[in-house]
């Protein structure tokens, strides 16, 4: 039976970006932007809960005027925006990255690594508020990721980069590869590191590897504590398997019709596809 929801008790919306809030071309639709701006003006808190880095999320939270603690890197990083004040981060061990490099080289597939802003000096970059992305080769997958996020990667030998003195760990690593290879990669990584790591699909070809305990759900818990929110005051929206952990944290959950089957099955509500700006229609109807 579908949950009953009282719109007057909802104080926050936890929004996944890709496949949920954004159009298929990664843009924020006009209807969605206007809807979210209106709700924010009325006091609604909009919390981005995304696998993206802060840098590639900035254009979206800036466009609607959303601010405060939000979830990035699938929960590996929680930060307050727009001033970018780090609240929490969970670094993954360098030995995991080292094995990932070997695996990617042996399979001839794309592998990339995100370093936290605190690591920029250690890896030879000027310290700034943004996370640094490193790759080994300029492959088509790297170009696709740049077009998807707007983040320009640094090309370098990853073995050399992770050997930098003083480097404590990485924010996350990612394989960008045909989904048919995802299960094989998962199995090899889990066989090696077991419960030390968390692997999740965040986009059709994106297989992300993070430290154990990291998830959008844990990140949302941290944000809700910071904002003083209770579960019954939050609706979580998502379309992929990386969104499922926040469905169990928020009091209510909703998925677009384009979501993966197991995500639709877990959601309390289903709305129109992201291509049709279904999120805006759902919110407009709920908060008349």
134 pLDDT exceeds 70? yes
Model confidence, pTM: 0.88
Residues 6+ away with beta carbon under 8 Å from 230:
224, 251
Question: What is the average pLDDT value for the chain, to the nearest integer?
Answer: 93
Q: DSSP E strands: which ranges in 63-168?
A: 68-72, 77-81, 85-89, 110-115, 132-135, 154-155
Listed residue (136, 146, 97, 89) closest to 117, CA to CA: 89
* Each residue's pLDDT tens digit, 12-30: 999 999 999 999 999 999 9
* % of the chain beyond a pLDDT of 90: 84
Q: How many CB atoms lie within 10 A of CB 50?
A: 30
Token pair of 247 as six digits: 């469905």
The count of C-alpha atoms lying within 13 angstroms of the C-alpha of 23, restricted to the half-sphere facing its C-beta, is: 10
* Each residue's pLDDT tens digit, 193-222: 999 999 998 888 999 999 999 999 999 999
Identify the band that residue 127 occupies on the pLDDT scale cut at 50, 70 and 90.
low
Domains and CATH numbers, the chain: 7-89+215-286 (3.40.50.1000), 94-211 (3.30.1240.10)
Mean pLDDT in residue range 73-95: 93
40 pLDDT exceeds 90? yes
Listed residue (31, 41, 57) closest to 279, CA to CA: 31
Identify the band that residue 156 occupies on the pLDDT scale cut at 50, 70 and 90.
very high
pLDDT at 203: 83
Beta strands 12-15; 234-237: pairing state: parallel
Identify the band that residue 231 occupies on the pLDDT scale cut at 50, 70 and 90.
very high
Looking at per-residue confidence, does 128 or 11 come out higher?
11
Least trusted range by pLDDT, from 6-10, 158-162, 164-168, 178-182: 164-168
Identify the band that residue 168 occupies on the pLDDT scale cut at 50, 70 and 90.
confident
d(C-alpha 55, C-alpha 53), whole Å: 5
d(C-alpha 180, C-alpha 244), whole Å: 21
pLDDT at 202: 84
Identify the band that residue 166 occupies on the pLDDT scale cut at 50, 70 and 90.
confident
Burial per residue of 119-146, b for 16 or more beta-carbon CB atoms within 10 angstroms, e otherwise: bbebbeeeeeeebbbbbbeebebbeebb
132 pLDDT exceeds 90? no
């Amino acid at each position: 039976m579908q949950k009953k929801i009282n719109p007057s008790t909802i104080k926050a919306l936890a929004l996944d970006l890709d496949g949920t809030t954004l159009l298929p071309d990664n843009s924020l639709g006009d209807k969605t932007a206007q809807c979210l701006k209106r709700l924010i003006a009325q006091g609604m808190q909009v919390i981005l809960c995304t696998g993206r880095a802060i840098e590639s999320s900035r254009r979206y939270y800036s466009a609607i005027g959303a601010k405060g603690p939000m979830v990035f890197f699938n929960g590996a990083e929680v930060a307050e925006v727009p001033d970018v004040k780090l609240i929490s981060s969970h670094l993954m061990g360098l030995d995991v990255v080292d094995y990932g490099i070997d695996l990617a080289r042996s399979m001839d597939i794309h592998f990339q690594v995100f370093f936290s802003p605190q690591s920029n000096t250690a890896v030879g970059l000027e310290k700034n508020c943004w996370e640094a992305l490193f790759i080994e080769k300029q492959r088509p997958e790297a170009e696709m990721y740049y077009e998807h996020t707007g983040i320009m990667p640094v090309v370098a030998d990853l073995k050399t980069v992770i050997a930098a003195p003083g480097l404590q760990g990485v924010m996350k690593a990612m394989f960008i590869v045909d989904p048919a290879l995802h299960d094989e990669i998962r199995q090899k990584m889990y066989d090696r590191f077991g419960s030390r790591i968390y692997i999740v699909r965040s986009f059709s070809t994106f297989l992300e590897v993070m430290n154990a305990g990291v998830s959008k759900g844990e990140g949302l818990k941290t944000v809700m504590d910071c904002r003083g929110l209770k579960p019954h005051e939050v609706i979580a929206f998502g379309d992929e398997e990386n969104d499922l952990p926040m469905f169990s944290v928020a009091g209510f959950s909703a998925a677009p019709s384009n979501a993966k089957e197991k995500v639709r099955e877990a959601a309390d509500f289903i709305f129109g596809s992201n291509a049709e700006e279904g999120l805006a229609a759902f919110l407009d109807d709920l908060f008349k």
